[in-house]
C-alpha cells in the first residue's frame, strides 16, 4: 500500500501579518511548512502557537541570501509592505524584492517547485485607469520615496515572467490590494492599523490631504482563500486561462472592490469605538500617494471562482478586538 506523504511548503516572510495566516492555513490542510523570515517587520509572536507542531519549522533567514530545501510549493511573501517600513531602508527593500525573488525562482527551477509570488497593487502607482485591471501598465515614479517598493515589486514580476518563459518555472502572481486583520503590526503606518490604534489611545485620527482619496479594504482570510485556490489549479488550466485572456504571465488582482474614502474609513472606525475621544485631523498628502485605488477582480472571479466575503464592518470589528489587547 502506497503511503501518501504530506506536501511540503516554503513560506517566506512567514512571521509577518499575512505569512502567519498562510502558515496556519497550510498546516490546517496537512502540509509540512518551513517558515523563513529575517524578522525585520515580522514578529515571532505571530507564529508562537505553531512552534509545537512537528510539521512546522522556523528558520531565521534573509531571502537576499540563497536558501536550499526540497519543496512542492513556495509562497514568496518576503518584503516590507508598509511605507513606514519599506522607506526605512529603501536599498534593502528593493534587494528583498529583486534579489530575493531571483533566489526563490532559482530554488524553484532546481527543485521543480510551484511558486506563488505576492505582488501588490502598488505596481499600478497613482493609476490613470480606474478600476485597475491587470492589463494596465501603471503610472509609477521611478525615483520617488515609494519607488523602492513599487519598482522592486514591478521588477520581481518581470523576473517571474521571464523565468516562466525561459526556464518553464511554474510561477503565479497575485497583486494584493489593501489587506487588513489580526497580526498586523500596530506601528506599521498603514491606515487601518493607524486609525484603530489612534482611536483606542484617544489620539486624533490623522488623515492626509483632504481625506477623499480612496482605497479598497480586503480582510486577510479572503486573501488567503484566493491564494490557496490559485495554487490548487493545475498548470494546464492556468496556461489555458493565460492564452484565453492574452496574459503574458499568470497574474491576477486580489482585493475587495468596495471603494471607500479615507475619511469614510476614519468615521467607520470611530463609529465602532464610540467611547473614543479622538477627532479627525488633516496633514499634507505624502509624495506619490495614489488618489484612487480599486481592483477589477473579473479575472479572479473567473479563474478561481472567488470573491471576497467579509464586509468592512465585520473585518474592522475583528481587527479592533485584536489591537484592543495591545493597549
Positions marked catalytic: 149
Q: Quick one: which H or E segment has residue 151?
A: helix 147-167
Could you tell me where the beta strands, DSSP code E, fall in 224-301?
251-254, 260-261, 280-283
Percent helix, strand and coil across the chain, each to the nearest 5: 40, 15, 40
Task: Quickly list DSSP for 34-95.
Answer: EEEE--SS--GGGTGGGTT-TTEEEEE--TTS------SEEEE--S--SHHHHTTSHHHHHH
What is d(CA 218, CA 226) in angstroms, rounded to the nearest whole number?
Answer: 11
For 207, the enclosing helix (H) or strand (E) is strand 205-208
Enclosing H/E stretch for 9:
strand 8-12
Question: Which backbone phi and psi does 196 adopt, to 5 degrees?
Answer: -65, -45
Amino acid at each position: 500500500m502506497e503511503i501518501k506523504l504530506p506536501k511540503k511548503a516554503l513560506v517566506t516572510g512567514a512571521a509577518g501579518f499575512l505569512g502567519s495566516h498562510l502558515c496556519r492555513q497550510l498546516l490546517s490542510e496537512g502540509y509540512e511548512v518551513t517558515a523563513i523570515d529575517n524578522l525585520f517587520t515580522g514578529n515571532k509572536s505571530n507564529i508562537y502557537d505553531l512552534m509545537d507542531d512537528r510539521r512546522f519549522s522556523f528558520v531565521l533567514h534573509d531571502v537576499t541570501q540563497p536558501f536550499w530545501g526540497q519543496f512542492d510549493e513556495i509562497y514568496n511573501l518576503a518584503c516590507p509592505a508598509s511605507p513606514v517600513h519599506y522607506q526605512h531602508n529603501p536599498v534593502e527593500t528593493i534587494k528583498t524584492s529583486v534579489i530575493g525573488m531571483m533566489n526563490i525562482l532559482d530554488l524553484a527551477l532546481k527543485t521543480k517547485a510551484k511558486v506563488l509570488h505576492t505582488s501588490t497593487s502598488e505596481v499600478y502607482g497613482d493609476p490613470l485607469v480606474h478600476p485597475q485591471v491587470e492589463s494596465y501598465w501603471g503610472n509609477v515614479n521611478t525615483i520617488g520615496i515609494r519607488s523602492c517598493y513599487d519598482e522592486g515589486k514591478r521588477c520581481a514580476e518581470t523576473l517571474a515572467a521571464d523565468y516562466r518563459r525561459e526556464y518553464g518555472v511554474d510561477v503565479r502572481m497575485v497583486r494584493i490590494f489593501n489587506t487588513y486583520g489580526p497580526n498586523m503590526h500596530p506601528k506599521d503606518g498603514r491606515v487601518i492599523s493607524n486609525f484603530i490604534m489612534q482611536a483606542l489611545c484617544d489620539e486624533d485620527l490623522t488623515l492626509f490631504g483632504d481625506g477623499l482619496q480612496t482605497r479598497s479594504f480586503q480582510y486577510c482570510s479572503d486573501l488567503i482563500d484566493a491564494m490557496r485556490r490559485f495554487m490548487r489549479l493545475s498548470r494546464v488550466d492556468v496556461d489555458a486561462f493565460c492564452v484565453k485572456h492574452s496574459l503574458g504571465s499568470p497574474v491576477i488582482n486580489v482585493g475587495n472592490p468596495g471603494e471607500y474614502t479615507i475619511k469614510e474609513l476614519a468615521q467607520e472606525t470611530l463609529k465602532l469605538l464610540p467611547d473614543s475621544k479622538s477627532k479627525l485631523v488633516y496633514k499634507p498628502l505624502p509624495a506619490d500617494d495614489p488618489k484612487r485605488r480599486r481592483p477589477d477582480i473579473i479575472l479572479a472571479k473567473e479563474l478561481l471562482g472567488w470573491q471576497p466575503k467579509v464586509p468592512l464592518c465585520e473585518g474592522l470589528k475583528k481587527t479592533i478586538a485584536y489591537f484592543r489587547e495591545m493597549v
